[in-house]
Amino acid sequence: MKKEGILLIVSGPSGSGKGTVVSKLVESGEFCLSISATTRKPRDYEEEGVHYFFHTKEEFEAMAEKGELLEWASFCDNYYGTPKAYVEQCLKEGKNVILEIEVQGAFQVKELMPESVLIFLMAPNVTELRKRLTGRGTEDSSVIEKRISRAMEEMELVSKYDYVIINDTVEKSVEDIKTIVSAESMRTSRNSDINKMFKGEI
């Protein structure tokens, strides 16, 4: 019998390296990535349906109203949300799914799906966070300051997460997340049929 996949939620301050780490995990072929809907304007390199599904505020609100989103939240003046159908389908097929979402959305999902795994990824310190945000070159200085001030609020919530990873190097963070998934897959609560399997009944 196929086990349901593990739902991993990766949050952390903007610029901490979530996108970079998550894309390496997805490249490994071991994870499905949920593509979020947003009202934010696309960055130069971003493509529709690859990085986000870009919507107007009205379109986004209609999706939320129709119950098509697993969770949604407002972050620095834009809406972001997770389309529900894709996540449910992947989990049913036994695939592990990653949501790269901010804290309010993460807590909404944990409430709905308590077996989901919350991982908080942080930069080693604020100076490094600012350096990464500036180095990425995708936001102007006023947006960077807004995101850093939001980072301070988000850091207060670390203790509500199941795991915390300091993203010193991308390679180590990728390995850390794979280790967490490996341990989570061995939880007794995810292996309730192990007895039947042993006896050859399934």
State how far the Cα of 188 lies from the Cα of 191, in Å rounded to an integer: 5
φ and ψ at residue 89, rounded to 5 degrees: -60, -50
How many helical (H) and strand (E) elements, i.e. helices and strands, does the chain have? 8, 9
Binding of ligand ADP by 126 (CB under 6 A): no
State how far the Cα of 46 lies from the Cα of 43, in Å rounded to an integer: 5
Sequence-distant (≥ 6) Cβ neighbours of residue 2 within 8 angstroms:
93, 94
Query: What stretches of 114-162 adopt beta strand conformation (E)?
Result: 117-122
Q: Write out the binding residues for ligand 5GP, residues 50-79 only, by CB under 6 A.
A: 71, 73, 75
Q: H or E element: which one contains 170?
A: helix 170-185
137 has binding-site annotation: no
State how far the Cα of 88 lies from the Cα of 183, in Å rounded to an integer: 22
Binding of ligand ADP by 105 (CB under 6 A): no
Cβ proximity to ligand ADP, 46 vs 68, nearer residue: 46
Cβ proximity to ligand 5GP, 44 vs 201, nearer residue: 44
* Cβ pair 57, 39 in contact under 8 A: yes
User: Choosing among ligand 5GP, ligand ADP, none, which partner's interface includes residue 176 (Cβ < 5 to 8 Å by kind)?
Assistant: none
Tokens at residue 91, please? Answer: 């989990």
User: Choosing among ligand 5GP, ligand ADP, none, which partner's interface includes residue 73 (Cβ < 5 to 8 Å by kind)?
Assistant: ligand 5GP
State the binding string over 133-172 for ligand ADP (x if CB under 6 A, else -): --xx------------------------------x-xx--
Cβ proximity to ligand 5GP, 126 vs 194, nearer residue: 126
Q: Site for ligand ADP (CB under 6 A): which residue of 7, 9, 15, 39?
A: 15
Residue written as tokens 């969770």? 71
Tell me which residues touch ligand 5GP (CB under 6 A).
14, 18, 36, 40, 71, 73, 75, 80-82, 100-102, 104-105
What residue numbers does the annotated binding site for ATP cover?
A: 12-19
Tell me which residues touch ligand ADP (CB under 6 A).
12, 14-20, 132, 135-136, 167, 169-170
